[in-house]
Amino acid sequence: MIFRYTLLLAFLLLQFNLHAQKKHITKQKGKASFYADKFEGRKTASGEIFHQSDFTAAHKSLPFGTWVKVTNLDNKKAVIVRINDRGPFVKGRIIDLSKSAAKEIGKLRKGVFSVSMKVYKKDRKAIREMRKLKKSAPLRQRSSYLDFNLITP
């Protein structure tokens, strides 16, 4: 009997996770924040190790590896980040950025800020070229090297 309930619970959780992964979000507006320093070096939901210097982000439902362009609505600065974690788990927030990504769009002092977000297709050649750039390359160079085509809604 306990086995049946455990199996049923596992099935329901799997269905919930698959449903979350299938959402086709291409554009969103809302609030963003950035990771606290205490998460440096910890594993993300995708299994990667989190580093504040990487251009990564957390989203509740977009598949891992999805590239998104996040634009600060106050100053129109933008950054392209890769989804590698789940979150944010605070009501009203749509994305959590790494500290480097937040710095790129100019919002380190303000913890929460208004953004728009657009999902991009992967351009494999651009991704390979970006990986060749050393971590010491300027943040703007690493971010602007990713020139992706917008997914049409």
For residue 60, tell me if it sits in a domain. Answer: yes
pLDDT over 90 (residue 115): yes
pLDDT over 70 (residue 135): no
For residue 95, tell me if it sits in a domain. Answer: yes
Show the beta-strand stretches assigned E in 52-146. 56-58, 67-72, 78-85, 93-97, 113-120
For residue 131, tell me if it sits in a domain. Answer: yes
* CATH code (residue 61): 2.40.40.10
Q: Which two tokens stand for residue 99?
A: 């500290």
- Report d(CA 34, CA 87) in Å as an integer: 11
pLDDT over 50 (residue 127): yes
Tell me the residue range of the domain where 101 lies: 24-144
For residue 14, tell me if it sits in a domain. Answer: no
Q: Give the closest residue to 68 by CA, choosing from 78, 60, 54.
A: 78
For residue 85, tell me if it sits in a domain. Answer: yes
Summary mean pLDDT of the chain: 75
Look at the chain and report how many structural domains it folds into.
1
- Taking only the tens place, the pLDDT of each residue in 11-56 is 555 565 544 444 567 889 999 998 888 888 889 998 889 898 899 9
Backbone phi and psi for residue 102, each to the nearest 5 degrees, phi listed first: -65, -40
For residue 63, tell me if it sits in a domain. Answer: yes
pTM above 0.85, yes or no: no
Percent of the chain with pLDDT over 90: 24
The pLDDT, as a whole number, for residue 136 is: 47
For residue 2, tell me if it sits in a domain. Answer: no
For residue 11, tell me if it sits in a domain. Answer: no
Q: 34 or 128: which carries more pLDDT confidence?
A: 34
